[in-house]
Amino acid sequence: MKTRLSTLLLCLLVFTAGTPVAADMPLGVMPINGRDAPALQLDNIDGEPYDLASTGGHWRFVHFWASWCGPCRREMPSIERMMPMLAGSELEFVIVNTAETEDEVFSFLGIVAPELVPLMDSDGLVTQAWAPRGLPSTFLVDPKGKIQYLALGDRRWDEPAYVEFLRRLK
Amino acid sequence: MLAGVLPIAASNALEKPYPGMHFEDEQLLMVIIPRTPEQMAAFYEARGFPQRAIDRVKATCFITVHIDNKGDGITWLETANWQLRSKQQALTILGSDYWDTVWESVDLPQSYRSTFFWTQLPPVVDLHPDEPVGGNIVLPGDTGSFSIEANFNTGADRRGKQIQVKFDNVTCPQDPVTP
């Protein structure tokens, strides 16, 4: 599991193009005001600590989800399929489960996205601080720690429009 | 189904025929699904909620709501602009202040409070084109038949055409009595 953490949760991928402008954005992705990303210090499901503030210098894909929500269950497999498509890029995937137990998370991810190693927001307070519009939600955090984009829930991240959009982040 | 997954908590994949009661035009889709106490109890029991919390859930009336902004501009979900009436009496949605007090009184752990929060319809959202929103609104359990008049402002400045949706004769279904 430690190996998977290093290769997936903290995988760094290298980008080649410029930051997308509004016209380039795929459906459901919105630019927002560039506010500072809230604190995100959590342990992953293996008990290993993670701190978003210590991982600057590249873009972060911060995704909040819970297994009880239907759109989350549909979206999660597409995230797992999308990650290897961005191999060689510089995007870090930060997958945050909201307020569920390890058993609930394991029994869900073990079937639909076994390669993902989520962070565990066990009491839900980190999710609350980030204030997503709902679950699932994805924030794209720039290398300086500012939230630049919000993706509405239930995206199909492995579709070309999303992969290309993420690839252009720089 | 409900015990495992909240089907339309935030879905943009709601398919016809829509469950429950619905309104749809070129700008908006709104679907409401009244839930029985046992349906809601089953959902939260499956999430591990303690019985003292389940009892409070079962004493109320849950309506699952799905709204999809089909227009090309902002549509405002603002439940403060909704009017719910039973006969001549106005009904109040039991919002986060109410539930915070309830959960405090039963000493519900924070993780369950968080899960419950995310299953509720948010009171204010500026819905962007193609953006769905969903969740539950909760009413007192002894409500009987009532109407829901949902008013939506449009435009970023709320000065666009107002959309009004009304559902009459909504009831909180009860679970069948087992002999």
Other beta carbons less than 10 A from residue B46's beta carbon: 14
Whether residue A66 and residue B115 make contact (CB cut-off 8 A), yes or no, is yes
What residue type is assigned to position A94 of the chain?
V
**A55/B38 Cα distance (integer angstroms):** 46
Give me the interface pTM, i.e. the ipTM. Answer: 0.85
Residue of B nearest to A152 (CA): B131
The tally of domains found in chain A comes to: 1
What mean pLDDT is predicted for residues B9-27?
Answer: 75
Set of chain B residues whose Cβ sits within 8 Å of the Cβ of A100: 47, 111, 115
pLDDT score at A12:
37
The domain containing residue A121 runs over which residues? 2-168
Full-model pTM: 0.87
Fold (topology level) of B21-170: Immunoglobulin-like (2.60.40)
Q: What is the pLDDT of residue B17?
A: 77
Nearest-CA distance B113 → chain A (Å): 8
**Surface of A (95-154) touching B: CB under 8 A:** 98-101, 104, 122-125, 127-128, 133-136, 152-154
Each residue's pLDDT expressed in tens, for chain A with a length of 170 residues: 444 444 334 333 333 334 555 557 898 899 988 999 999 999 999 999 999 999 889 999 999 999 999 899 999 999 999 999 999 898 999 999 999 999 999 999 999 899 899 999 999 999 999 999 999 999 999 999 999 999 988 899 999 999 999 999 98
A14 CB within 8 Å of a chain B CB: no
Kindly report the nearest CA distance between residue A147 and chain B, in angstroms: 18
CATH code, A130: 3.40.30.10
Residue-wise pLDDT tens digits, B36-58: 999 999 999 999 999 999 999 99
Using alpha carbons only, what angle is made at residue A156 by residues A128 and B70, rounded to the nearest 5 degrees? 80
